[in-house]
Amino acid sequence: MEKLLDKINKGIIARREKEPARDYLGASSAGKACVRQWQFSLLNVPKDKPFTAEKLRIFDVGNMYEELAIKWIREAGIRLDTHDKDGKQFGFEYKDANFKGHIDGIIYYIGKRLWECKSMNQSSFKELIRKGIKESHFSYFIQAQIYMKNMGLTEYPAILTAVNKNNGDIVNIEIAFDSFYADKYINRALHALKDIEHGNILERESPSETMEKCRMCAWNKKCWDRKNERIFEK
């Protein structure tokens, strides 16, 4: 059956290759560790290695958990809106910058709140419970802050539903609005986008290629091996 697997993998990769490259900075990336990473992505520089079919299947499975969480919440009789009356995902965009966000939903549970869903493996799930969202998953914390501010959903804490991919456990975490972090990370994104627009090469936000954020970065080799003038060559 190896041939069948090959065919499936090729189909997954072909679908990915047809997807248009993202030409804006998503708020989901705004809390991520390095602004130069955004520049690689926005300039559509190929990753050191393209995503494998295995990795793309993991992304698909993650999306499936979100659909399930929506179903579970609605089955509980709780109103959860994920799209507007025209069938579009709720979101926002900045008129003068390539900065946008699309939220998972608006939940009506003890107030009207931002709702976000994340699926994660066992250790990540446990860490979330043990340390709290800000310490364990800072980029999710920032994403929620930016969404709350731009969607005007600041009165009540957001709810993040995390699904444990190993066993289907769920936990609902409240994230209170914090204008300091919302403003700080919106400004960071807008400044970086301006610099990118002006053709400046953004500084690495890491002292070494062996730091965790660099080891996890899809442009590690290009970032550290190339001279500045060639850094964004395709």
How many residues line the site for ligand SF4 (CB under 6 A)?
A: 12
* Whole-number Å distance between alpha carbons of 32 and 195: 17
Q: Give the helix ranges, DSSP H, for the chain.
A: 2-18, 35-42, 53-75, 122-131, 133-136, 138-151, 179-197, 212-215, 220-225
DSSP-derived letter for residue 103 is -
What is the nearest approach in angstroms of ligand SF4 to the Cβ of residue 33? 6
Q: Is 132 left (phi over 0), alpha (psi -120 to 50) or beta?
A: left
Q: Which CB, 35 or 153, lies closer to ligand SF4? A: 35
| CA-based nearest residue to 56, from 26, 16, 10 | 16
Q: Which CB, 119 or 220, lies closer to ligand SF4? A: 220
What is the nearest approach in angstroms of ligand SF4 to the Cβ of residue 57? 24
* Whole-number Å distance between alpha carbons of 24 and 85: 25
The pair of three-digit structure tokens given for residue 78, joined into one six-digit string: 């709780």
What is the nearest approach in angstroms of ligand SF4 to the Cβ of residue 50? 16
Per-position x/- string for 24-53, each x denoting binding to ligand SF4 as judged by CB under 6 A, each - no binding = ----------x-xx----------------
Q: What is the three-class DSSP state of 64?
A: helix
Per-position x/- string for 146-185, each x denoting binding to ligand SF4 as judged by CB under 6 A, each - no binding = ----------------------------------------
Report the site for ligand SF4 in 213-232 (rule: CB under 6 A).
213-214, 217, 219-220, 223
Q: Which stretch binds ligand SF4 (CB under 6 A): 71-79, 106-114, 171-179, 202-210?
A: 202-210
Instruction: Say what the alpha-carbon torsion angle 32, 119, 173, 141 is, to the nearest 10 degrees.
Output: 10
Among residues 137, 149, 165, 204, the one that binds ligand SF4 under rule CB under 6 A: 204
Binding residues for ligand SF4 (CB under 6 A): 34, 36-37, 204-206, 213-214, 217, 219-220, 223
